[in-house]
Amino acid sequence: MKNYRVKPGSKMNLTRWDPDDASGFKGDKEAAVERLAKLNQQLAALQETLYAEHKHKVLILLQAMDTGGKDGTIRSVFEGINPQGVRVASFKGPTPIELDHDYLWRVHQQVPGRGEIVIFNRSHYEDALIVRVHNLVPPKVWRKRYDHINAFERMLADEGTTILKFFLHISKGEQQKRLQARLDEPNKRWKFNTADLGERKLWPQYMQAYADAIGQTSTGWAPWHVVPANRKWYRNLVVASVIVETLKGLKMRYPKPEADLDQVVII
């Protein structure tokens, strides 16, 4: 899965990253589902240790084009995980109060505390993406935000936060299929927003904005992973594998129990 990690300082061109790639797993979909179930079990155990140890903080960012699978990734990767110590923060359009502050103000309030995993469903990167594509701020403003974000994430890392960032990379053709599925299935129509069609017309601009943002902000302390996401099962497998291996690397331990517990008799 290391092939999907973006090296710091990389010159990004997302056309060179295949959304259909599944080369990191030498099995079929059925085998991948079994593998994901095992990863779920490992993640549950690791999360429990992280919560008990109360030392590390973990921040997971998910970014994608519409229908890219952020919600599905969260459901699948974190299936069966104890909700105590894990939460999701979603970032919609900023409120008037949030607009009265700097763009990172609302984000900082949602970062994880000790023993906690927080998943950002969209994130502060919207302020270097959508504002650029829609010309909401001039280039001299959004270009500075790469440095702001790097400094912000470096501060979080220095204070003990482990950061993983995932771009769920789908093709324009796959997005078309998923949007059509939302129209065709009555129980999915609530997800369909005609505004998504306008965003779809801006696909090339978004791909360039994502490429620049990822290339400018994939760092040693907060790496980006470009995840092939046309196959949902493979997308889930990649994200789960990276998270599990990262948590294993923290070498977490349960706190030591009180002394002489073997002598305790419960009556």
Q: What is the pLDDT of residue 191?
A: 86
Task: Give the C-alpha separation, 234 to 89, whole Å.
Answer: 24
Q: What is the pLDDT of residue 209?
A: 98
Assign 151 a pLDDT band (cuts: 50, 70, 90).
Answer: very high
Asked whether the whole model's pTM tops 0.75, one would answer yes
Q: What is the pLDDT of residue 38?
A: 97
Domains and CATH numbers, the chain: 2-253 (3.40.50.300)
Q: What is the pLDDT of residue 28?
A: 86
Give the pLDDT mean for 170-197. Answer: 92
Q: When comparing pLDDT for 262 and 70, which is higher?
A: 70
Amino acid at 215: G
> What are φ and ψ of residue 58, in 5° steps?
-130, 125
- Spatial contact of 230 and 171, defined as CB atoms under 8 Å apart: yes
Low-confidence winner among 158-167, 221-230, 252-261 (lowest mean pLDDT): 252-261
Is the pLDDT confidence value at 160 over 80? yes
Give the pLDDT mean for 237-265. Answer: 91
Is the pLDDT confidence value at 267 over 90? no
Amino acid at 219: T
Is the pLDDT confidence value at 121 over 80? yes
Q: How far is CA 199 from CA 60, 175, 261, in A?
A: 25, 12, 61
Is the pLDDT confidence value at 262 over 90? no
- State the average pLDDT for the chain: 95
Q: How far is CA 220 from CA 34, 104, 118, 154, in A?
A: 31, 21, 20, 9
Is the pLDDT confidence value at 146 over 90? yes
Give the pLDDT mean for 219-243. Answer: 97
Give the pLDDT mean for 226-237. Answer: 97
Give the pLDDT mean for 131-138. Answer: 96
DSSP sequence for 134-171 = TTSS-HHHHTHHHHHHHHHHHHHHHTTEEEEEEEEE--
The model's pLDDT over 107-116, given as tens digits with 9 standing for 90+, comes to: 999 999 999 9
Give the pLDDT mean for 68-82. Answer: 95
The model's pLDDT over 10-50, given as tens digits with 9 standing for 90+, comes to: 999 999 999 999 999 988 889 999 999 999 999 999 999 99
- Spatial contact of 219 and 21, defined as CB atoms under 8 Å apart: no
Q: What is the pLDDT of residue 206?
A: 97
User: Structure tokens of 95?
Assistant: 């409120």
Q: When comparing pLDDT for 193 and 75, which is higher?
A: 75
Is the pLDDT confidence value at 259 over 80? no
The greatest distance separating any two alpha carbons of the chain, rounded to the nearest whole angstrom, comes to 71
